[in-house]
Structures are given as C-alpha cells and as structure tokens.
Structure 1
C-alpha cells in the first residue's frame, strides 16, 4: 500500500494534525508498544515523532488515559488514578495475569541478575526454584532463554523479555526499582542476594530450553 507521508498539498497546520492522528491511530490499534521506527513510516521524513508524541500527550492531559513510553515504544495506558474504578467495574482488561509471590520474586530476580541460571536463582532464594515456576513465567512470555552459561555443563540462562518491560511499565531495565525497595516490600532479601555464592551453583540436572 502506497501512503502519502509527506502530505505536501496540505498547509502546515493540517499536515501536522494529520500526522498526529496517524501516530495516535497506530498506537491505539497496536497490541504492543510501538517503537519510533514504526511510527516514522506513516509521517514525513523530516517530521519529529517525539514532538508529535508531546502534542498528543498534551491533548490527553485531561483524559483518563495517556501515552506512555514503555518497552522501547509508546502505548496507550489508563492513568493510575482510575485503577480502582476499572477494578470495581469488573470489565475485562489487558492486564497481565496475576503472579503469586514466588513467581513475582523470581521474575524480579531474573530482571536484576540476568542472564541467570535456575541454580543461581535457587542459591539467591535459599531453596530450589522449580522448572514449573520457570515454565509458568515462560508461558506468560515474561522471560526467555538467554545464552548458555560458561559454567560446567553449559546450563541455560534466563532473561526478561519486552513483554516484561511492558507489563510493569518499564521503558528499559534501567527503570527497575532499587533493590532496597524490593527488600522493604518483602520480595527479595538484600543480604541473601549479596551473600549468594553464584560462582559455585547447584547442579542443573540437564535443564532444557
């Protein structure tokens, strides 16, 4: 499909408005955060996608939803102030499936220590991390297999995915909260993490991807 991206026949103000609507339509229709290079395909070569996003955000200032930068792209999200209303309505949402405490803690540990093996995770928490738990996180596409570890037996490592960033509203892994915050929440113990001997992991027993 040939698309007129330059819109040279329109006056500047109408051209900019059309570009804004195109960008918003693409973001609204997408099931995942939309990266800059995708949005650049529907606007002029010299058009600033960032400035378009700024104008769209300004227009949404008084709306219950907003454009957020997450997982390397942009996505429509309802504002946190309306979370209680949405829950009370009982309407189905696109929210990530609820994680139990163990799954959430292991997921965040993978986020901090990736690429990390299952045996290393077991040492961090002082108990075995089951293949079923890892499989559950993989089925939600929150983690994936990383590079093979250089340790004996070359066990698989695990890393987080763009879906992890999107689910928790992070743009990059640099947005992960400080470890102290997780300790205060009772999810991960800083002392245990810092004292874990990750150089001598437990046997992997032939983990499979």
Structure 2
C-alpha cells in the first residue's frame, strides 16, 4: 500500500472511521500512523476528498462535524434504519428545545436570562439533562449579584446536529421561513352550537396551558442577534479570566 497516494490512503481512512464508530479528528488520524510512514497533511486532505466522492450513491456519507470526520447513514434512510432498535428515539419537550435554542443563539447566557425571554421558570431537570448530554457547559459566571453561571454549547451539541461550527446554524430569519404554517385539523372544524353547549356543560375545568409560541421566541432572539457570540475561542478566553475569589468555570469542551 502506497500511503503517499490519496487513492490508497482513502480506503484505510474509511476502515478507521468504520471501526471507530464516531468522529475522529485529523490529529487523531495522524497518530494512528508511525512517524516514518505518516502521510503529509495535504495527502490526508486529498484522501478524505477521495473518500467523500466514493460515498456518492451509497447509503452512507462522509461528514465533517465539530469533533472531526465520521461516516454516517444518510438522512434519507433514517426512518427505516431506525427500526433496527426496539427502543424509540427520545423525544424532547418544547421547553428543552426552546432552552437549547436560546443557549445556542445567545451564548453565553444565564438561566435567569433564559427565563426572562421565555417568560417562565426553567425546570432544573432541563439544565441537568443538557449538562449530562454534554450539549452545554458552564463557561463562566455573570458579574451580577449571585454570580449566576453562564451556559454555552459544546462540540457534542454541534456533532449531534451535524454542524461543523456555530456559523452553520441557520439564521433566525431562515428559521422563521422554515416554521410551517398551522394546518387546519379535524378538531378545528366548526361544531354545531347545540353540541358545543352540551360539551361545555359536561366538560371538566381544564388546567391553564402554557402559551409559549416558538415564533414569538424567534422574534425575541432576532432582537438579540446583534450581540451573538459564535466563536468558542471567545468563550474560552472568558472562562480563563475568572475574578479573584470566583469559582472556577467548567472544564473545557471535549
């Protein structure tokens, strides 16, 4: 095998990525070769491009995400491939998704600031879930009374959503365009007045429903867009400069 030839190196990189089952950085791939046989960085890049092109027309693709490169099943096949696992994918609540959206677009942000935008308290379990999944981390503490923790997204968050960096997040304007128009449901069809009256008489009082519109959330985010921070290096610099007596920020992202 001629490791200086991208066409020979590409199948070997494919074997590495298939065996690992997760994203691998270029640095990690370099380490898999003895120094004497290690290809030049330019050869690695060309080999990855050869591998990417070889995936055309196949069920999987080469994808670059925040942690590096990985081979993954194409999204078109997900509905069928998902049947391999009996356990259904976990569904996340609207509150959790709104919280992670605010962190992604307004980071670094505190829990109190999230609550100000959403208009409701953030459940402690939501923050706990995001931290446990390593989608968010603490990058510092706001210089206000109580020194609340500031949250930011991680590489694991980017990897999960097939993103290389935060710049690949859709703009707020694009999100609004993607929000589907409400469809007329069968339940929305007009009900005869006498039937509605009977239903109202027999119905039990309903608990108040939280009316948090994702569209209104996007409008709030849009007003903040000028202050967005989308560079992890900036976040790390803030985390590296704690005030005297301040608790140490969270560990660096993985």
TM-score category, normalised to shorter length:
0.7 to 0.9
Select 1:33's aligned residue among 23, 27, 35: 23
Q: Which moved more, 1:183-192 or 1:58-67?
A: 183-192
Aligned to 1:99: 92
Q: Tell me the SS of whatever aligns to 2:70.
A: strand
1:18 deviates by: 4.2
Give the whole-Å Cα distance in 2 for the aligned partners of 1:68 and 1:55: 13
Which residue of the partner structure matches residue 187 of structure 1? Answer: 214
Residue 80 of structure 1 aligns with which residue? 75
SS at match of 2:95: helix
Matched, 1:23 2:13: yes
CA RMSD of aligned residues (A): 2.7
What secondary structure sits across from 1:145 in the alignment?
strand
What is the CA deviation profile of residues 103-162 of structure 1, one whole-angstrom value per residue up to 9, with x for unaligned ones?
112111101111110001001111111221111111212111121112222211111111
Aligned partners of 2:162, 2:126: CA distance in 1, in Å? 23
Q: Work out whether residues 72 and 172 of structure 1, in 8 Å CA contact, stay in contact via their aligned partners in 2.
A: no
Deviations 1:28-63 (A, max 9, x none): 223432111122233413552221111011111121
Deviates more, 1:100-109 or 1:168-177: 100-109
The answer to whether 1:156 aligns with 2:156 is no
Instruction: State the number of aligned residues.
Output: 185
Gaps of 5+ in 1: 1-9, 197-208
- CA shift, 1:82, in A, is 1.3
Distance in 2 of aligned mates of 1:182 and 1:67: 26
TM-score after normalising by structure 2? 0.64
The C-alpha deviation readout for 1:153-202, integer Å capped at 9, x for no partner, is 22111111111001100000111111123345363523333568xxxxxx
Residue 96 to residue 84, structure 1, CA distance change in 2 (3 Å): closer
Question: Does the Cα contact within 8 Å between 2:114 and 2:122 map onto a contact in 1?
Answer: yes
Answering whether residue 40 of structure 2 is matched by residue 45 of structure 1, we say yes
Q: Quote the Cα distance in structure 1 between the aligned partners of 2:223 and 2:2.
A: 64
Which secondary structure state, in structure 2, belongs to the residue aligned with residue 76 of structure 1? strand
| 1:65 equivalenced with 2:60 (yes/no) | yes
For residues 137-152 of structure 1, the aligned pairs below 5 Å read 137-152=130-145
Larger of the two Rg values belongs to structure: 2
> Does the CA-based 8 Å contact 2:24-2:70 persist in structure 1?
yes
Residues 114 and 135 of structure 1, relative CA distance in 2, 3 Å threshold: same
How far apart, in 2, do the equivalents of 1:154 and 1:138 lie? 19
Distance 2:3 2:30 in 1: 18
- SS across alignment from 2:109: coil
Preserved CA contact (<8 Å) 2:139 2:152? yes
Q: Which segments of 5 or more consecutive residues in structure 2 lack a partner in the other structure? A: 180-212, 225-249
